[in-house]
Structure 1
Amino acid sequence: MSKLDPLPGLSPYPLHHFYDEMFASERSVRPHYKHVNHTFARMSPEELQTKQHLMQRRMMEEGITFTLYNPAQDQPMERTIPFDMIPRIIPKDEWEKLEAGIIQRVTALNLFVHDIYHEQYIIKDGIVPRKMVISNCYFRPEMAGLRVPGGAYITTSGIDLIRHHDGNYYILEDNLRTPSGFSYLFKGRSLMNQLFPELSFSNSIRDVERSINRFLSVLRSLAPSRTPDPVIALLTPGQYNSAYYEHAFLAQQMGVHLVEGRDLVVQDHKLFLREMNGLKRVDVLYRRLDDDYIDPLAFDPNSLLGVPGLMNAYRAGNVAIANAPGTGVADDKAMYVYVPEMIRYYLNEEPILNNVPTYLLSRPDDRTYVLDNLAEMVVKETSLSGGYGMLIGSEASKEEQDNFRLKIIAEPDRYIAQPIMSLSRAPILSEGIMSPRHIDLRAFVLMGADRKPHVIPGGLTRVAMREGSLVVNSSQGGGVKDTWVMS
């Protein structure tokens, strides 16, 4: 182990009982962080703070923003997402195990989604309860028996992982509907290359830029028409959506059309883009809005964001939709409990990566245990994401715990609970001083018509910017780091 250069502001912090990504002990740095540590240790707090301000200014100039919604305020607040300059580094052998486990998981989930909309073998064999599927708010009867282009239901996914104090990774959550964060991964790497070229290029790091081309080729592979140059459109809710920057970024980088529902029309069960000189046929629609809003004729009749008749064009096999409607049934937080069994059932393999221990509050014994130990639990509403509808028992007041207790008793099916996991920590720069923060990892997976998942190297490390907090979600004020996979 190399020793940390004891310069002001960069002396190591107490490790407590958390796993620290950079420090193996209070005076030693993990080997794969040696060069990064040395680079930052040579810089004064003032130099570091100047670099951090330059980073934030670049992000503001390029419009790299995220919109926060505060119920106490009338207007949403747009801000640059906090980006920390100390990268998170994953050794090659560690990443290979993560990559294999993620591919295994997404493969099984895709088979599960196909199964429940067709033969439903997993229900008939008693592995997953029928009620859990049929009553799921993301289950779409309209998808029953429908042939999905290429058989790829889950074109894009974001698999959230944490590292516990035992040093092992655990799957925390599967995001299979409209996962976000791709743009922060790509732009984070670009900004690090600009501000620390000597650091980025002197380390052997897996490239992420080529994954943009992979993203485009995956979407192209879904085109029902098999044309060599399909027309692809990215459907956004519009500029007021919290992730609009990402929608615009991805459309620009891939060279596809960025559209809103009003820019599209369905005629003769085909989807068209309205252009100045007429209509252009659309082959693939990468949608970034939820099922409820994509077609007011099929789902929510009040939606002004979608395209009337889109599902008719989809059923006719004239357009591909990524991700396929109805995929949300597999990323429901209660369904998460059954993913290890899905892997065993569909692949005849043992899971490479484990779930976090999870209690289904619809089960009386689980519910009793959780209610008796609420202060030691994280309770989540099964259908929500982004850190909403969640109770962290250790951070909640007695009144907040009691209010949540009543919610659980009234509607236990709506909640799951997990023990509070000690998320690993990594150093961030706060006012030029190194300070520990809790982190997780969102791994992004792309799947085309060949149904061979591609995991973008590294993914996005999300950071709980508030000291001691375990909430890393951007919608709750979290930040991000560039994630390096050593090659």
Structure 2
Amino acid sequence: MKQALPEQVSLHHGLKNQTNQLSMQIEKQHAAQHLLKQTNSIFFNELTDDQVLSPTVVNKIEDWLSKHSIYELEQLNTLAQEHFLYQGITFAVYGEKAGIERTIPFDLIPRVIAKQQWKTIEAGCTQRIKALNLFLADIYHEQSILKDGLIPELQVLTHEAYQPVMLNHRLNGNIYSQISGIDIVRDSKGEFFVLEDNLRTPSGVSYMLESRKMSQKLMPELCHQYGAGIEQYPQLLREILAENSKADAPLIVVLSPGRYNSAYYEHAFLAREMGVPLVTSRDLFVENDKVYVKTIRGCKQVDVVYRRLDDGFLDPLSFRPDSTLGVAGLMSAYLSHNVVIANAPGTGVADDKSIYPYVDQMISYYLNEKPILSNVPTYQCREPYALDYVLSHLDQLVVKEAQGSGGYGMLIGPQATEQDIDLFRMKLIASPSAYIAQPTLDLSVAPTLTSQGIVERHIDLRPFILSSPERIEIVPGGLTRVAMQQGSLVVNSSQGGGIKDTWVIDEFSY
């Protein structure tokens, strides 16, 4: 057998290297071209269509992407998934036969918001939470807004989340929702709208913090330069919870349903980051209307319970008698002002989707201000004229359960089958007060890495608002959720949605 001459071997390797380099260059260009094509999207693309956002940031992100092949970018996303799996960052996707737990899909391409726009979001969320806390204080005390006829009295007082046990119970600073999440979307013109309020036990903040950690690992040169800091959230949360208590050095605990809960990772994460005990009902007991936690150094009195379970399970003596997740006597200690429960029982009446349309009136009534952030137009199916319209336009509307969450129990008319529409028509006729309807918005999109390359996917934003009698704090950014399926408008993690890091950019800092 003939041996190749040295110059032939050298030529062969040279050609092979050139071919590999050319292939890599084509792949890298392919990534950049995919991103640039998003400017032709029929939807508002937040990275390329936003005129407020500096092109400098967009160009730097595109440049960073173009220096990596699609394969390399996919490998980086895989590293993120492996990190989430190792850390136990999972969420339940109900209805899947393969198992109820899975890692959260992460997309490394950040969602970018100009600081100028963030200030509007921040001011709007602050205004909204002030009004909602005042509304809760009102309906459990004077009920002025109901007596003045701005909100139907029966709609509030007969609401299943309304807790009569909270009547005339005074809270420090009238703060009912210490930790809130406001879901915000943008339409085809880039305008911001509030989609819904989350005042009971809003989740997702751990995903916000972990997304930032991944950005710092995967693209440190960009993240450290542009992304405003959010790592202070756990310390802020601890300070805010402490400020809601009148104790000098309050003992705070995080009350979790336990490790089988879909958000247990977040409960453990926040307790660890705050440096406070993570407890279940077995760790707490009530004696003489005071709450105690069992520790290796004996029993200690608890001043603040950051609860991560619903009202009905908090105390079997006050709510569901079959609950094994709550603490017997907890409400007695709470009503005696010996412990703070965050968020307060009964907050759920303010974040119901049938109360949502009245938040604009609350802002005007309690603050004498105009809303900074607009609501999405909403049809209350309990009203006969609204029900008639909804039934006639089901194929054009989004219909939601007023008490629904997680993206369950909803109809997206333009994407629904005739069978789905007929089923919802029967549900609406049978129980109209249980539903609201909204027009289908052309939700904004952001470039997202998928197995098909860099494509557009619909997104929303959940800023987290911390409230105490002394202040309201919002870390810059919040959680961006992504509908990972093409054309889908459902971003909820519980239905397979993913997450992105959110960068608030100071447009004057570069």
Q: TM-score range by the shorter chain?
A: over 0.9
In structure 1, give the amino acid aligned to 2:357.
Answer: V
1:481 matches 2:504: no
What residue is the counterpart of 1:206 in the other structure?
Answer: 228
* 1:279-318 Cα shifts (integer Å, max 9, x gaps): 1110000000000000010001111100000000001000
Aligned residue number for residue 57 of structure 1: 82
Q: CA deviation at 1:6?
A: 8.2
Tell me, which stretches of 5 or more residues in structure 2 are unaligned?
1-26
Counterpart for residue 13 of structure 2: none
**Partner Cα separation in structure 2 for residue 308 and residue 140 of structure 1:** 17
Deviation at 1:32? 3.6
Q: Does 1:367 align with 2:391?
A: no
Distance across 1 between alignment mates of 2:452 and 2:60: 19
Q: Which residue of 1 aligns with 2:400?
A: 380
What do the CA deviations read for 1:254-278 (whole angstroms, capped 9, x no partner)?
Answer: 0011001111100000000022343
The residue number in structure 1 matching 2:22 is none
Match of 2:152 in 1: 129
> In the alignment, which of 242, 251, 254 is matched to residue 220 of structure 1?
242
Residue 213 of structure 2 corresponds to which residue in structure 1? Answer: 190
Residue 52 of structure 1, CA deviation:
1.2
Deviation at 1:206, TM superposition (A): 1.4
Aligned residue number for residue 109 of structure 1: 132
Deviation at residue 423 of structure 1 after TM alignment = 0.7
- Could you tell me which of 454, 469, 476 is aligned with 2:473? 454
- Would the aligned equivalents of 1:32 and 1:91 in 2 still touch at CA under 8 Å? no
1:437 aligned partner: 457
Q: Is the 8 A contact 2:401 2:410 kept in 1?
A: yes
1:464 to 483, 487, 490: 483
1:200, 1:443 → 2: CA distance? 19
Query: Separation in 2 of the partners of 1:441 and 1:356?
Result: 15
Question: Corresponding residue for 1:41?
Answer: 66
TM-score (norm 2): 0.91
Does residue 1:250 correspond to 2:270, yes or no?
A: yes
Deviation at 1:198, TM superposition (A): 1.2
TM-superposed deviation, 1:147: 1.3
Letter in 2 for 1:295: D
Match of 1:82 in 2: 105
Q: Distance in 1 between matches of 2:499 and 2:348?
A: 25
Alignment of 1:68-467 (within 5 A): 68-70=93-95, 73=97, 76-203=99-226, 205-224=227-246, 226-227=247-248, 229-431=249-451, 433-450=453-470, 452-467=471-486
CA contact (8 A) 1:105 1:343 kept: yes
Match of 1:24?
49
**Letter of the structure 1 residue corresponding to residue 400 of structure 2:** K
The structure with the greater share of residues assigned to helix is: 2
> Can you list the C-alpha shifts for 1:356-389, whole angstroms capped at 9, x where unaligned?
0100001111111111110111000101111111
- Matched residue of 2:29: which SS? coil
Q: Deviations over 1:426-477 (max 9, x none)?
A: 0111137211100000111000122x32112110000000011000001100
Q: Distance in 2 between matches of 1:38 and 1:9?
A: 10
TM-score (norm 1): 0.95
Instruction: Indicate the SS of the match to 1:369.
Output: helix
1:35 aligned partner, one-letter code: K
Which structure's CA Rg is the greater one?
Answer: 2
**1:157 partner SS:** strand
Deviations 1:224-257 (A, max 9, x none): 3x22x21110000111111111000000000011
Per the alignment, in what secondary structure is the counterpart of residue 311 of structure 1? helix
Whole-angstrom CA distance in 1 between matches of 2:505 and 2:242: 30
Give the corresponding residue for 2:29.
Answer: 7
Q: Distance in 1 between matches of 2:245 and 2:469?
A: 9
> Displacement, 1:77?
2.0
Distance in 2 between the 1:478 and 1:79 partners? Answer: 11
Counterpart Cα distance in 2 of 1:432 and 1:61? 26
Supply the distance in 2 between the matched residues of 1:402 and 1:16 (Cα, whole angstroms). 33
Deviation of residue 191 (structure 1)? 1.5
Taking the aligned partners of 2:187 and 2:142, their CA distance within structure 1 comes to: 38
> Partner of 1:189: helix, strand, or coil?
helix
Contact 1:362 1:412 in 2 (8 A): yes
Q: Secondary structure at 2:322's aligned position in 1?
A: coil
Query: Does the aligned pair in 1 maintain the 2:28–2:70 contact within 8 Å?
Result: no
Q: Are 1:437 and 1:468, in contact at CA under 8 Å, matched by a contact in 2?
A: yes
Q: Distance in 2 between matches of 1:208 and 1:276?
A: 34
Contact 1:206 1:484 in 2 (8 A): yes
How far 1:322 moved relative to its partner? 0.2
Provide the secondary structure at the position in 2 that maps to 1:9: helix
